[in-house]
Structure 1
């Protein structure tokens, strides 16, 4: 958690609104394994990290609300009874969406001002959107004593994204950001929305993210397309979600689906299994097995689910050449963003430099490297 972020939003808030705000920090997240399994009712293995969004929030007596995105140097004013989605892709939809979903639950909130600023790298697949949604709902819950549970809050954040942003996301991002525990990853059952924390002893290894700094434009449509493919195969199998299917079930309908969709469903079934095996490996302090599962996850995302891209594949292939990297894979929705790497502490800096150099040579583009720690979820800062 960055002290300068918090200082920035606090000082700007006091200067702008002449009152002391409530301060909230809401983290971004990583996902160790379990990609595209969340909307299939499966398991995911996320953790909150020490990068996120700091928000300063307080009641307003001006008859309107003001929200300021400090990073973007962008300010909006709005009225609580006149909310509707703004133009596509604009940050205010995350704020509007949360407010609208709170009101849909017949919870009464008054006017408020909010200023936020983050240090989650954009487009890195670390869920800055969930962090923003959670900071808004958490702040409003506190400010107006709405009595919402953390579970209710993340469902509000998720609905905001569905209805105001137009992304039909699963629950993982909001969950990890809200419920994170320092030094732990959360094995989250996306069907029951219950998680078991696993304390990770990384021993002499650590997690490192390498951001491709690319975002290929087909990501949203490809996401929705894969989601509907999974849903239609589940329907064919007569199950609620692919969580309820195994490889043998899938073989029975092989002639009823396209080879591409067969592979996508197979990937999901296998990834749900890998995620549970990863939890077991962590329990047994077996980082080698964890690393092998992470590599297998990338292979599935690349060749079966087909949501990777050349830049991500290149970074994973660089990792595979280095015996100090136990595992690497693309993380997030795909088509850009980051790879997550499980690497020996003493080799991390050298690998970061060699991979960055090779990447620049190959793509004539810089990649960015982040070292992260697993940290606590959304909370008030005293």
Structure 2
């Protein structure tokens, strides 16, 4: 089955039949149903080469999925009950789809059950009629949770798509983006934008997805250096490196992430008021770049840095889109690295360990560009690397980061310290 919007496989197709068989067998075991009844939602993780930290400001971003992600095997319940088990967490979740779900007030209470309840909450609040629950088994990639790859959005979307499937609901990818945003914003209390769900639901194998987060429109950018037949055969001239820091924690409501979002809005508010547009919504996308240049001197230092990151990143996204369309990976990579530097200096995210990992990636053989993935406070860094140097670059990063942070590296499963990945497809039910 192809991704929404027409994506469709290639050499990097995920999941494999072996992965699907494992999930199906587990659902058969816990449900007592036949293997032919089991459906699987495949929700890939995403990366954002350019467009860091600007989606919540209505910015334009680029994204693609990778050939790793979340699998949710499921069958329809005989009634309204949801019964779930996890490959990463112990216990069984049980509740009903007709139970009224209320937003989580204390972020410390967020756990793996929250995303399933959040999916029911979002569907209830958007007016969808849920009569059937699911019996399901969800599995991600051990070591990749809480890693800056949108794992939370992948989980939320998986539950949405499974519940929609068993209740015969026809929901478009665009509507599912808003449903997942409701899980994150309304139910969990996180100020996330639409980048993560958009990338997961809309991406196509071998293309760069270009998204306008203000208008919620998207387009696909073709890598013109190769013929379409070469792209379909998986002959893109690069790989994606994901290097994990070993730093993992949840993203609570009062985290550095939410603080940065608030600061961006404050910068927008000050600039809009200074230009006589105080009635406009306080996001930086509503500030004319010329007004920003003329009025940026009024901003407090921390707000000035957030605005500088936003406006410079918007320029990098456009340049990166054009470089990709020309097949210029070297310029594309340089822009990714510049995004990483601005994230550190202007957006002021990242820790000592994350910055070390970023700098190690920049020195690795064949790496064209690198930056943090996700919010940047923990998790992983991504890099675009020439295809012929991918394994050597991965080995270099493993060795150098282990020298720098031996204790943290010891906490990461050996096979998950640096992954060599390929672009993937969008979310789908198999």
> Into which bin does the TM-score normalised by the smaller protein fall?
over 0.9
Residue 275 of structure 2: aligned partner: none
* Correspondence for 2:75: 58
Choose from 283, 287, 299 the match for 2:329.
Answer: 287
Supply the distance in 1 between the matched residues of 2:251 and 2:69 (Cα, whole angstroms). Answer: 26
TM-score normalised by structure 1 residue count: 0.93
Moved more, 234-243 or 263-272: 234-243
Are 2:310 and 1:277 aligned?
Answer: no
Structure 1 pair 189–224 and aligned structure 2 pair: CA distance change class (3 A): same
More off after superposition, 5-14 vs 26-35: 5-14
2:152 matched to 1:129?
Answer: yes
2:247 alignment counterpart: 214
Aligned counterpart in structure 2 of residue 235 of structure 1, from 269, 276, 285:
269
The residue aligned with 1:332 is 374
Question: Cα offset for 1:63?
Answer: 5.1
Alpha-carbon shift at residue 219 of structure 1 (Å):
7.3
User: Between Structure 1 and Structure 2, which shows a larger proportion of strand residues?
Assistant: 1
Deviation at 1:227, TM superposition (A): 0.7
Which residue among 86, 89, 93 is the counterpart of 1:69? Answer: 86
Structure 1 residue 245: deviation in Å?
A: 3.1
Return structure 1 stretches of 4+ with deviation > 6 angstroms: 216-219
Q: Is 1:9 the counterpart of 2:31 in the alignment?
A: no
Q: 1:79: which partner in 2?
A: 96
| Aligned residue number for residue 34 of structure 1 | 51
Which of 162, 182, 187 pairs up with 1:164?
A: 187
What are the within-5 Å matches in structure 2 for residues 69-218 of structure 1? 69-82=86-99, 83-84=101-102, 88-112=109-133, 113-119=135-141, 121-200=144-223, 204-215=237-248
Which piece of structure 1 moves more, 184-193 or 218-227?
218-227
How many angstroms apart in 1 are the aligned matches of 2:363 and 2:76? 55
How many residues were matched structurally?
381
Measure, in 2, the Cα distance between the counterparts of 1:349 and 1:53: 25
> Which has the higher mean CA deviation after the structures are superposed, 247-256 or 19-28?
247-256
Normalised to the residue count of structure 2, the TM-score between the two structures is 0.83
Show CA shifts across 1:50-100 (max 9, x none).
111111222212552212223213311112233345762211111111111
Structure 2 residue runs of 5 or longer lacking an equivalent are 1-14, 227-234, 273-279
- Whether the 8 Å CA contact 1:210–1:369 is kept in 2: the answer is yes
CA distance in structure 2 between the aligned counterparts of 1:377 and 1:362, rounded to whole angstroms: 36
Q: CA deviation at 1:101?
A: 1.3
Structure 2 counterpart of 1:375? 424
Kindly tell me: are residues 272 and 49 of structure 1, through their superposed partners in 2, closer, same or farther at Cα, counting changes over 3 Å? same
Q: Secondary structure at the match of 2:181?
A: helix
Superposition RMSD on alpha carbons, in Å? 2.1
Instruction: Specify every segment of 5 or more residues in structure 1 that has no aligned partner in the other structure, as ranges.
Output: none
Query: Higher mean Cα deviation, 356-365 or 34-43?
Result: 356-365
Shift of 1:341: 1.1
Q: Which moved more, 1:133-142 or 1:184-193?
A: 133-142
Task: Decide whether aligned partners of structure 1 residues 54 and 342 sit closer, same or farther in structure 2, where only a CA change above 3 A counts.
Answer: same
Matched residue SS, 1:213? coil
Distance 1:41 1:85, change over 3 A: closer
Deviation at 1:142, TM superposition (A): 2.0
